[in-house]
Amino acid sequence: MKRITIIGGGASGTLTAVNLLRNSGEGPLTISLIEKRTEIGRGVAYSTDHDLHFLNVPAGKMSAFPDDPDNFHQWLLSNGFDYAASDFVPRKLYGRYLRELLDDAFANASPNAVINIINDEPENIVFEGDTANVILRSGEKIASDKVVLAFGNFPPPHPSVPDLRFTEQPKYIRNVWEKDVLSVTDKDDAVLVIGTGLSMVDVALRLNDSGHKGPIYVISTRGLVPSVHKLGFNYEQFNDTLLKFERITDVLKEVRKHSVASSDQDSDWRAVIDSIRPATQQLWIGLPIAEKRYFMQHLSRHWNSARHRMPPQVAERLEKNEDGRRF
């Protein structure tokens, strides 16, 4: 009997359960999927119900299965959502897709496979020989052969300033994914967003869409906002070359060289960035710690802006609001 406990039922936890069920064979398997939110599959990214909160990757590239790359797009079509593979679709649909994948995987799994979905939070893990006992808030104890930690990103820290009294104010939000910005703002409030990545974009869209009239200020160390997607270009991979480098500045030079070359080849720098996606994990793991530090300090914001892009319709919406205010 295999007993696998997964803590966190967002995208990673749900997909771990799906893949375990799909590959469980005939042997006995008990999966305990523990999620503190009420819904499985949604996590932070896919819990939003806002229609303008889009996936930042086109539907045709969001399949849950690398060996079935059109799976998400086909799911959309078979559920009556008439999107092209190149469309950016609302994130809430992706949460529904993940949940349905789990239901399907369970329906098609061997009768010896069991999944328990538990709405709770672990308080402790106590080891007894080879068994890890996951103790939940409710007091329940789940004996496990393996425990998968899939609880996503930790909440952002407070700004690192000496006087933190402002964090006790009701209009201060530390984690915008736990407290809705609309719940603490009046229509004419000036809003300051610290950070200029995709979460800031979501906040600005949510405010604008609610008819917010006050100014929205956004601030970050480099002032870089996400780049805008430009679809329809490909670029030949050069990952074998990248994986030989031990210095991040050499990686940067190579990527820059190809970005410049891309325009001579009727391509686009964004396709260059996308072409290195399959190698980024290996590249990161292979870098010495000092090079990782250098990347985090000097290059990560540029990378985030180039890599985590926004759909064109979102950029247009931010660029010019309906009442003519500019972002």
Ligand X SMILES: Cc1cc2nc3c(=O)[nH]c(=O)nc-3n(C[C@H](O)[C@H](O)[C@H](O)COP(=O)(O)OP(=O)(O)OC[C@H]3O[C@@H](n4cnc5c(N)ncnc54)[C@H](O)[C@@H]3O)c2cc1C
Of 152 and 286, nearer to ligand X (C-beta) is 152
Residue 109 in the binding site for ligand X (CB under 6 A): no
Residue-wise DSSP of 12-28: HHHHHHHHHHHT-TTS-
Q: Which residue, 12 or 220, has its beta carbon nearer to ligand X?
A: 12
Strand partners, 33: 6, 117
**By rule CB under 6 A, what string of x and - marks binding of each residue 141-180 to ligand X?**
---------xxx----------------------------
With contact defined as beta carbons under 8 Å apart, do 227 and 305 qualify? Answer: yes
What minimum distance in Å lies between the beta carbon of 163 and ligand X? 28
DSSP characters for 170-232? Answer: TT--S-TTTS-GGGT--TT--EEEE--SHHHHHHHHHHHHTT--S-EEEE-SS-----B---S
Q: Which of residues 21-40 bind ligand X (CB under 6 A)?
A: 34-37
The answer to whether residues 204 and 318 touch, using CB atoms and an 8 Å cutoff, is yes
Q: Which of 311, 32, 49 is nearest to 150 (CA)?
A: 32
**CA atoms of 10 and 38, how far apart (whole Å):** 11
Q: Is 9 in the site for ligand X (CB under 6 A)?
A: yes
Please, which of residues 72-101 interact with ligand X by CB under 6 A? 91
Q: How many residues lie near ligand X (CB under 6 A)?
A: 26
Residue type present at position 83: Y
> Which lies closer to ligand X via its Cβ, residue 10 or residue 275?
10
Minimum CB separation from ligand X for residue 154, in Å? 9
Interface with ligand X (CB under 6 A), residue from 24, 56, 196, 305: 56
Residues near ligand X (CB under 6 A): 7-13, 34-37, 43-45, 55-57, 91, 121-122, 150-152, 198-199, 202
